[in-house]
Amino acid sequence: MLGRAGMVGALILLTLAWVGPARASSPFEDWAAVVVAGDFHGAGGGPTEAFDNARRDVSKELRRLGFSPDNLREFSVRPDRYKDRPLKAEPRAIYETLNDLSGKARSGCLVYFTSHGMPQGVVVDDQILTPGVLGRILDATCQNRPTVVILSACFSGVFVRPLARSNRMILTAARPDRTSFGCGEDSVYPFFDDCVLKSSPAARDFAALAGSVQTCVARREIAEGMKPPSEPQVWIGGELKPMLPLFAFPTGPPQGG
């Protein structure tokens, strides 16, 4: 017959067997993340919601992947327009926010821009954020930790070489000499952002996501007759590449909320 201590121990084991193993925390829970909609003008000059739609829904998807809402900030050039209260998109504010977030979330960084682009850089509130400036921001904030940089903009391939570090992955919507597509006044999302959102639920990690996005964009451009192809670029540093499978995405369909 079991004594009192034995009965207590048996009850604990039965309880553990009933509830199952504790759910592992997300590998992105301690990552800092910023998502920036850098413009609100469509290709024809009129207003568009495409960039802010992408900003909102990419952020939602990142939360599904396990990024903590406490460590994720959104930016818009028209923040007062939106109920989710993004911050005002300005280069200094982006730097200061990422600096604050990376000071407390120290395991990694994700930086996502969706905007118009030029051969000199990406548009942020009528300014041009150059590859050199973004590189200095990352060096000062994310430093040597795993860092994923995603740039949805025309000519965004200009960022690859200047930002390339062994601890970074860079995914861009276009080659350095090509435009990307889907930022018209009536567009829901730019093509690239749409492909990120469609590809993410089935991807196992950021490397797989990049390949799926490249395929998705190419198919969309062919289907709609867009030429020349934008050819999204991906670069993964040697230090980060073997680590990416450790930063696995959750399996299964997107969750509501």
For residue 228, say if its preceding peptide bond is cis, omega within 30 degrees of 0.
yes
Residues 178-229 have pLDDT tens digits of 999 999 999 999 999 999 999 999 999 999 999 999 999 999 999 999 999 9
Does 23 have pLDDT greater than 80? no
As given in the structure block, the two tokens for residue 109 are: 């960084």
Average pLDDT over residues 118-128: 97
What percentage of the chain has pLDDT greater than the value 90?
Answer: 88
**The predicted structure's pLDDT at residue 256:** 39
**The predicted structure's pLDDT at residue 25:** 85
**The predicted structure's pLDDT at residue 167:** 98
List of residues 6+ apart from 173 with CB closer than 8 A: 117, 151, 152, 153, 154, 156, 180, 190, 191, 192, 217, 230, 232
Average pLDDT over residues 228-249: 98
Higher pLDDT, 239 or 24: 239
Q: What are phi and psi of 112, to 5 degrees?
A: -130, 125
Does 95 have pLDDT greater than 80? yes
pTM of the full predicted structure? Answer: 0.89
**The predicted structure's pLDDT at residue 15:** 34
Higher pLDDT, 206 or 23: 206
Does 79 have pLDDT greater than 80? yes
Give the pLDDT band (50/70/90) at residue 253.
Answer: low
Cβ burial of 246 (10 Å; 0-12, 13-18, 19+) is exposed
Does 35 have pLDDT greater than 70? yes
Average pLDDT over residues 130-140: 98
Task: Specify the amino acid at residue 202.
Answer: A
Ranges of beta strands (E only) in the chain are 31-37, 72-76, 87-88, 108-114, 117-118, 121-124, 127-129, 147-152, 168-172, 233-236
Average pLDDT of the chain is: 91
Mean pLDDT is lowest, of 92-106, 206-220, 238-252, for 238-252
